[in-house]
Amino acid sequence: MSEQSIFARLLFALSGHSRNGLRLKQIADGISESPSTTLRNLQRLAEDGLAERSPHDQDNWRLSPRIVQIALAHQTEVSREERALDDFRNRYSRSPN
């Protein structure tokens, strides 16, 4: 399996566990990888700022705030584009005087 799909599976496995995170074995079992491979890939995600150890329990891993920042940036972009499209619709849907 490619590295990219392992990283995606890790991100999906960690989603919904942002406060306390998950233990390495839970994550490894959830993505059907060995704990050593899972740890190595979690460390790579951490180096990229996408995962981190939970401050509540250093044995747990969770998504980093960077993931939320990416999602919020996307939401902001979508909202901006929706406003622009609404303005366009309003401009061209008015009846001429």
Q: What is the pLDDT of residues 18-44, one digit of tens each?
A: 889 999 999 999 999 999 999 999 999
pLDDT, average across residues 71-86: 96
Return the CATH number of the domain spanning residue range 1-63.
1.10.10.10
pTM for this prediction: 0.75
User: What's the CA gap between 91 and 61, in Å, rounded?
Assistant: 50
Instruction: Check pLDDT > 80 for residue 96.
Output: no
CA 86 → CA 5, 90, 91, 93, 96, distances in Å?
Answer: 37, 6, 8, 10, 18
